Amino acid sequence: MALGLILIAACGSDASEDDGAGAADAGSGSGQGGDLVLTTSSTGGDQNSGSGGGACRGELEAIVRDFSEDHPDFQTFSGTMAFTGIVEDDLGTDGKPVYAHNGGTAQTTGPDAFDQWYRDVPGVNEPFLISLQLVQGGNGASVFESDAFFPIDDRGFGNEGNPHNYHFTTELHAIFDYQGGEVFTFTGDDDLWLFINERLAIDLGGLHPELSATVDLDAMAGQLGIVVGERYQMDIFHAERRTNQSNFRIETTIECFEAVPPPE
């Protein structure tokens, strides 16, 4: 059974979306493409309790880190298009994105604030473990799809007077077998970086309306350094930085994923 993965993240980020129309009363529902389960109220530092190394699953685990809207990178910026180049093309040796600038950009404050996005920083963020359940889509791909991706409503720093908890990052890691012919598509808003074999494959950084990007693994095999028949890790880093929408959608023909815990 071909496994396609669709995660839709509409992270209401820019001023063009922040008109109050999309706040919705959809709660933290996961739309029609799969289930989202908060598997623990907090990681409590035990992030490596995931299922890594197991058999092929229709479920992926992710770390969601909640931030206050007072964080300098959240509820601050806006935009109308993707802002590429925030991170380096190669994943860092610690398995995290590497900030590509000495100071701020039009969409970020600087390296110190960015380095908090995907690392546990007591008092700055609070981590939660969630599970994304994939389902088979009509096009032969498995899907997780949400047009109201609010996995930590009323948790962490809370909703801060908003209908949902809008200020968080998502970190997800999985291993897959590259068989040839696979594609992977992300559709959503706010920052999304996809790394394959530790190399940047999708760069949809910054705050922006819902956008899509597709990776054809065969076409990018040389750039990504991948060879048919081998196994590789996929690393996804997402941020929801501004009210008032949150959509998250991925679609892929990769047949099988094995979830792996995020690096410390």
- In this prediction, residue 47 has a pLDDT band, given cuts at 50, 70 and 90, of very low
Which of 190, 187, 70, 49 lies closest to 127, judged by CA?
49
Report yes or no: 193 and 215 within 8 Å, Cβ to Cβ. no
How much is the pLDDT for 55?
Answer: 59
How much is the pLDDT for 38?
Answer: 53
Q: Which domains can be identified in the chain, with CATH numbers?
A: 8-259 (2.60.120)
Q: Write down the pTM of the prediction.
A: 0.83
Write out pLDDT tens, residues 95-119: 999 999 999 999 999 999 999 999 9
Write out pLDDT tens, residues 113-159: 999 999 999 999 999 999 888 777 777 788 888 999 999 999 999 99
Report yes or no: 245 and 189 within 8 Å, Cβ to Cβ. yes
Report yes or no: 64 and 152 within 8 Å, Cβ to Cβ. yes
How much of the chain, in percent, has pLDDT values that exceed 70? 77
Q: Mean per-residue pLDDT for 168-180?
A: 95
Element at 113 (helix H, strand E): helix 111-114
Examine the pLDDT at 92 and tell me if it is beyond 80.
yes
More confident residue, 123 or 49: 123
Q: Mean per-residue pLDDT for 10-14?
A: 36
Examine the pLDDT at 70 and tell me if it is beyond 60.
yes
Determine how β-strand 8-10 pairs with β-strand 183-189.
parallel
How much is the pLDDT for 17?
Answer: 43
CA atoms of 112 and 249, how far apart (whole Å): 29
- The residues facing 61 across adjacent strands are 131
How much is the pLDDT for 139?
Answer: 77
Q: Which of 109-113, 159-163, 249-253 has the lowest mean pLDDT?
A: 249-253
Q: Mean per-residue pLDDT for 167-184?
A: 94
What's the full length of the chain, in residues? 264
Write out pLDDT tens, residues 182-221: 999 898 888 999 999 999 999 999 998 888 999 999 999 9
How much is the pLDDT for 34?
Answer: 60
